[in-house]
Structure 1
Amino acid sequence: MITPLRLYLSESLVVQNLKYQVLSVELTSSDRLIEPQNIKNLELPSGIDTTGGVIISGRAPMWLYSYLTHALHPTAWVACYDPRLGAVVSATNSRQVCIGQVIPVNPPNGRQNHVLAQEKRNVETGLCPALMVVGPPDSGKSVLSHALFQALLSDHSDIYLQRAHWDGEGNYVLELSSQTTDEEIEGFKLRNKGVLTERFFPYHAQAILQLRRQKSLVIVDVGGMVQPEKLPILEACTHYLIISSKPEEIGAWHEFCRDRGNLIPVAVIHSSLAEVEEVHRSEPYLEITSGPWLRGQTKGVPENILKYVKSLFIAKN
């Protein structure tokens, strides 16, 4: 059986007088999924320098990171790379570092291999586009964001979905079994729900900027209310997409994102409970009626929508 992941070990590097190597995880299947049995006979690459640290980097489930951290126990220290923060030290046998220390590194990732994406990025700042997905509650923002992310991921592994909201509805909710009831989902969300604090949106804005330095596209889900507290998110993003089941509320989102935030509109999706795809206009942005955007009922992202989103980070020939 072919294992749908690869591990790559870098040469020895130095930052802040700390010697380290990067252990990169690459998920190789088209859907970027692995199963627990895939790590049963997984071996670390040869050439690990145990006198230094190892930074684990790459998109992978928590249990794979847990296994790799355990397997790397003989090294001086182990850190897990979070593209929003840096490398966070999670295990150490040395006084060189301490638990929770953030090491400012940017390990190589797939973006360096995407020439078209580099051609499209901002030359002066080196920042990729960030697309805010906005609209009133119960329109399908979370479902659309997740569907966009999944649709782009198979061909563009350096896409990132940032959930900048505290409602407890992360990707894990959308990926629960089809047998999970609405009551169970609402209970799960309630247990994981947070509250708005003064540092919430500034924290996520900084995370988005950090992600834009490394990715080809950052998709941002910011929840369903027009709020002045979200201005830091506006400043960190470049484009917006409205999905709304309430036509009368679309204007307020244009005013907030385009007029106040100076963001560029990509599309307006009139969210429908019916299975429909009707394009109303293509310029200056896409306007379309599409649906349904409900968990377990969405069949995929219409090609028209994908085309406009891809145009943000893939240069035209």
Structure 2
Amino acid sequence: MVAPPSIRLASQSEVKLQVITLLANHKPCQTLVIDLLAPLRCIQPDALESLSLPDTLDLQQEVIIFGSAPIWLYACLIDQCRSAPWVATYDLRTQSAVVVCSHTSQYVPGDAIQLELNQVAQPAILIGGPPKSGKSVFSHALQRHLVQRQFNLKTHIYRANWDGEGNHTYETENTDLVEQLRRENNFKLHHQDESDAKIQEFFRNRAAEAEKIRRVIDLTLVDVGGIPDPIKLPVVEQCTHYIVISRDPNRIKAWQTLCSPSLTPLIIIHSVLEERLEIVRTEPYLEVIAGPWIRGQECHVPEPLLEKVMSVVQPDAIESS
């Protein structure tokens, strides 16, 4: 990625827009990158009032929109760029730009343009543990604290399971809507015909997506669900480190067995319901008793855990942020 020297802020408090170049089908393509200066859940629609495109964006050329942002922000940017020959949005899982509007015969809406990203695969941390231990809550809190701690560090929670939960589950206060989305998007593959073959294919596909995500994101947090099943090994092997969080000490070993052949242990968390931080050991991995990790409550990730996670981030990612 090559960024021009001039960058204009669209909103000094919430959104930064930057023009860079990405290679698509072996040709340079103008790309509008969205950086949120506040956490995603803190961005408000009134940010659109001061939103303006950078002076360096040329609407006589194609525009690829790249970055994590609310749908309404994407809709506004697509509308502002609609006079360009074509506009596409980046799909992280496939490393392609999906055309959403076009005035040319070269591409039509729905076309996927493969992007070429030269960045080597960056670290990925598998976060495992039995159900009801706070794994997903911890993952979301960790990602939020990392962004707050290291400005512009590109992080992503990749939920490689079919339970219907996603990052939206922890970014909305509408619990009824969350539950509705969870039910509608729970594939329940284990209840379908030819379930074994479908589950194997599912995790092979998730592994391929995880590898592509690692070539864009500085640090990927991977959630593979609550069961340490060897069928998940394709995804496990796309990670570099692992964290286990469990309310039951007897269920940690199974996760260590699943991860140990290929991943480096990073943190073991004995999950508790009271506010607590007790360091059990620091080597060869950090082991702590910590909590609480309860959905709907503000969760604080203690500094020793953040320090341990940041230790796996590549130095150039920290310098660029």
TM-score by length of 2: 0.83
Q: Would you say the 8 A contact 2:34–2:66 is kept in 1?
A: yes
Call closer, same or farther: CA 1:211–1:3 in 2, change over 3 Å: same
SS of aligned partner of 2:295 = coil
Q: Would you say the 8 A contact 1:19–1:52 is kept in 2?
A: no
4+ aligned runs moved over 6 Å, structure 1: none
Structure 1: which 5+ runs fail to align?
A: 109-124
SS of aligned partner of 1:219 = strand
SS of aligned partner of 1:144 = helix
Separation in 2, partners of 1:68, 1:97: 19
Does residue 93 of structure 2 align to residue 99 of structure 1?
no
Partner of 2:313: 313
Q: Would you say the 8 A contact 1:18–1:96 is kept in 2?
A: no
Q: Would you say the 8 A contact 2:24–2:116 is kept in 1?
A: no
Call closer, same or farther: CA 1:252–1:30 in 2, change over 3 Å: closer
Partner of 1:286: 286
- CA shift for structure 1 position 229: 2.3
Separation in 1, partners of 2:259, 2:85: 47
Call closer, same or farther: CA 1:27–1:187 in 2, change over 3 Å: closer
Deviations along 1:83-114, one digit per CA (max 9) or x if unpaired, are 32221112112111132222222579xxxxxx
Separation in 2, partners of 1:15, 1:58: 17
Partner of 1:249: 251
Q: Would you say the 8 A contact 2:39–2:144 is kept in 1?
A: no
- CA shift for structure 1 position 30: 6.8
Amino acid at match of 2:183: L
Partner of 2:6: none
- CA shift for structure 1 position 153: 0.9
- Which of residues 64, 67, 77 is equivalent to 1:58? 67
- CA shift for structure 1 position 314: 5.1
Higher alpha-carbon deviation: 161-170 or 280-289: 161-170
- CA shift for structure 1 position 149: 0.3
Separation in 2, partners of 1:290, 1:3: 34
Q: Would you say the 8 A contact 2:228–2:258 is kept in 1?
A: yes
Partner of 1:239: 241
Call closer, same or farther: CA 1:45–1:249 in 2, change over 3 Å: same
Partner of 1:268: 268
Amino acid at match of 1:227: D
- Which of residues 151, 158, 162 is equivalent to 1:162? 158
Higher alpha-carbon deviation: 301-310 or 84-93: 84-93
- CA shift for structure 1 position 201: 1.5
Deviations along 1:160-187, one digit per CA (max 9) or x if unpaired, are 111111112222221222xx55x66444
* Percent identity for Structure 1 against Structure 2: 39
- CA shift for structure 1 position 266: 0.5
Separation in 1, partners of 2:243, 2:178: 26
Q: Would you say the 8 A contact 1:244–1:270 is kept in 2?
A: yes
Does residue 193 of structure 2 align to residue 193 of structure 1?
no
Separation in 1, partners of 2:288, 2:56: 54
Separation in 1, partners of 2:117, 2:80: 20
- Which of residues 29, 39, 61 is equivalent to 2:48? 39
Partner of 1:4: 14
Separation in 1, partners of 2:23, 2:160: 33
Call closer, same or farther: CA 1:98–1:195 in 2, change over 3 Å: farther
Call closer, same or farther: CA 1:205–1:104 in 2, change over 3 Å: same
Amino acid at match of 1:194: F
Amino acid at match of 2:187: G
Q: Would you say the 8 A contact 1:57–1:107 is kept in 2?
A: no
Partner of 2:211: 209
Higher alpha-carbon deviation: 2-11 or 131-140: 2-11
- Which of residues 124, 129, 148 is equivalent to 1:135? 129
Does residue 21 of structure 2 align to residue 27 of structure 1?
no
SS of aligned partner of 1:24 = strand
- Which of residues 171, 174, 186 is equivalent to 2:170? 174
Q: Would you say the 8 A contact 2:40–2:70 is kept in 1?
A: no
Higher alpha-carbon deviation: 19-28 or 280-289: 19-28
Separation in 2, partners of 1:64, 1:223: 31
Q: Would you say the 8 A contact 1:212–1:218 is kept in 2?
A: yes
Q: Would you say the 8 A contact 1:27–1:33 is kept in 2?
A: no
Structure 2: which 5+ runs fail to align?
A: 1-10, 190-197
RMSD: 2.6
Separation in 2, partners of 1:307, 1:14: 35
TM-score by length of 1: 0.84
Partner of 1:83: 92
- Which of residues 144, 147, 155 is equivalent to 1:150? 144
- CA shift for structure 1 position 70: 1.6
- CA shift for structure 1 position 47: 5.2
Q: Would you say the 8 A contact 2:143–2:157 is kept in 1?
A: yes
Partner of 1:277: 277
SS of aligned partner of 2:308 = helix
Call closer, same or farther: CA 1:96–1:300 in 2, change over 3 Å: same
- CA shift for structure 1 position 14: 6.5
SS of aligned partner of 1:236 = coil
Separation in 2, partners of 1:100, 1:184: 28
Separation in 1, partners of 2:124, 2:208: 12
